[in-house]
A = this chain, B = another copy of it.
């Protein structure tokens, strides 16, 4: 029942509403999509079991966490040995300051989105966690004036 589940419009609606608001209750959700409470709960359960709904996460205010500055590190790597790069990506995303990391083609090789308390913190982060590593040949730091995030991925078809 989980692998080859066929999704209809109501399943996509459920996923859209739960992306917009992860705290939406079954009662409200069922009212919106026009199904009974139990039918809706069933679908949500199946969508989770099938892995189509992966997880949910609360979003907290940044300042309360001391994240007053945001930046992008645009980095170039020396050797693109897959193992090293994959391990590097896994490692950095564990750092409390790292929000996301992208392994990319083009002028840069890795783009990392970080937060920091202040410039001193950012400097220490850059030097002690990145400049540090021998396979990183260059880091360009772009300060972020403003960032916006869409938390809802809609069907593109």
Contact = CB atoms under 8 A, between A and B. Distances in A.
Interface stretch (A30-38, A47-55, A129-137): A47-55
- Each complex incorporates copies of this chain amounting to 2
B153 A62 contact: yes
Interface in A51-74: 51-62, 64-67, 70, 72, 74
Contacts of A51: 61
A56 B156 contact: no
Given A153-B67, A153-B115, A156-B97, A146 B103 contact: yes
A141 B54 CA distance: 28
A155 B52 contact: no
A103 to B, nearest CB: 4
A116 to B, nearest CB: 7
> In which size bucket is the chain A interface?
35 or more
A84 to B, nearest CB: 14
A143 B72 contact: no
A20 B116 CA distance: 20
A56 B111 contact: no
Nearest to A15: B60
Interface string A133-149: 00000001111111111
A13 to B, nearest CB: 12
Given A104-B142, A106-B141, 15 more contacts: A21-B57, A22-B55, A55-B59, A56-B56, A57-B57, A65-B154, A70-B102, A86-B146, A93-B149, A93-B150, A101-B147, A106-B140, A111-B142, A117-B156, A121-B156
